[in-house]
Amino acid sequence: MSVKAAAVSFDVKSLPTQPIEGQKTGTSGLRKKAAVFAEGNYLANWIQALFNALGEEVQGQTICLGGDGRWFNKDATQIILKLAAGNGLKKVVVAKDAILATPAASAVIRRRGLYGGLIMSASHNPGGPKEDWGIKFNYKNGEPAPEKITDNIYAFTQTMTEYRMADIPDVDISKLGTTDYGGFEVEVIDPVSDYLMLLQEVFDFDMIKGFLSRTDVSMIFDALHAVTGAYAWPIFVEKLGASPGGMHNAVPLEDFGGGHPDPNLTYAKELVALMYADDAPILGAASDGDGDRNMILGKKFFVTPSDSVAMIAANAEACIPYFKSGFKGCARSM
């Protein structure tokens, strides 16, 4: 049960800084080596530039915050919370342990009517102190920030002179609940619940559960020690009845277990070997670091992403409740 802590007040400090080269931002955000983000004011500069770019529009708003579980995410969360408070935001909704898949962040933004959200991820790139880190801003509809915002962020990174941080203590993001600092709140939420509710509206869970319960059906899901490991058990096992033994590498790790969370035939070797064995299950799947791309395999065959989209399009109206009223279009990530 969530418990609201007693309200406290806080001061805001304007701390001097200067522009840092190389903070050009695209719709996928900003990606660099983790050590670069962790050094000095690098992250603080970019976050302050974001809030500057959003201007008065972001004042008094609520955003969400989470990421793919990679190294530096938890430390970055504390920095971002202090900057959010220092820049006049009303509230930040943080996923427990800062674990939040990109599609789940989009769901949280839309279901809760948030202003937007920050996602800490470098997608399918490796994680760890010597590997990659990234951050991106998703806007009101859960979509990546439009170019007019990302261009504005970059412009502000080139003229930065200060960043504004609230003098608040670190938040315990391992426990669900709300802390009120007097004019600024942090709510730690379950990373699965909003996303699961959306999935249950989109898909026919009873039909999928019936399929997975058949004696001639078996499945392996490989989370590659990335963010979807946090979703595998509650969705596949608890809700859809999949076998617990079919959940592989389902504990998110800061270095993805030393692997490369890119779901393809090269980097998901463990899953590929299992799916090409004589006793392979009939269905295999893997997802990338932040959970917005996947790989599908059948017994001894690989489903190309374009074929996967084509199969969805061909069967959408008949099999997916969300598309019962008509299928408008589709696309695949390149």
pLDDT score, position 6: 46
For position 3, what pLDDT does the model report?
45
Average pLDDT of the residues in 265-293: 96
Instruction: Please state, in angstroms and as integers, the Cα–Cα distance from residue 39 to each residue in 76, 98, 105, following that order.
Output: 11, 20, 26
Write down the mean pLDDT value for the chain.
Answer: 94
Nearest to 138 by CA among 121, 117, 153: 117
Q: Give yes or no: 306 in active site.
A: no
Short-list 261, 248, 201, CA closest to 222: 248
Res. 328 pLDDT band, cuts 50 70 90: confident
User: What pLDDT is recorded for position 334?
Assistant: 61
Residue 85 in contact with residue 10, Cβ under 8 Å? yes
The one catalytic residue in 2, 28, 106, 123 is 123
- Is the pTM above the cut of 0.85? yes
pLDDT, residue 329, reads 83
In contact, 290 and 102? CB cutoff 8 Å: yes
Residues 6+ apart with CB under 8 A from 292: 101, 102, 103, 123, 333
At 165 the pLDDT is 97
Q: Residue 4 has what pLDDT?
A: 55
C-alpha radius of gyration, the chain, whole number: 21
Tell me: the pLDDT tens digits for 74-127?
999 999 999 999 999 999 999 999 999 999 999 999 999 999 999 999 999 999
- pLDDT tens for 245-272 read 999 999 999 999 999 999 999 999 999 9
Q: Provide the pLDDT for residue 276.
A: 97
Give the H or E element holding residue 1: none
Residue 192: what pLDDT? Answer: 98
Widest CA span of the chain, in angstroms? 65
pLDDT (mean) for 173-185: 95
pLDDT (mean) for 157-184? 96
Asked whether the beta carbons of 30 and 22 are under 8 A apart, the reply is no
pLDDT exceeds cutoff 90 at 179: yes
| Contacts of 197 by beta carbon, 8 Å cutoff, 6+ apart | 107, 111
Please give the pLDDT value at position 7: 56
Output the CA–CA distances (angstroms, integers) from residue 4 to 17, 66, 126, 329, in the order listed.
Answer: 35, 20, 37, 44
Instruction: State pLDDT tens for residues 3-58.
Output: 455 455 789 999 999 999 999 988 789 999 999 999 999 999 999 999 999 999 99
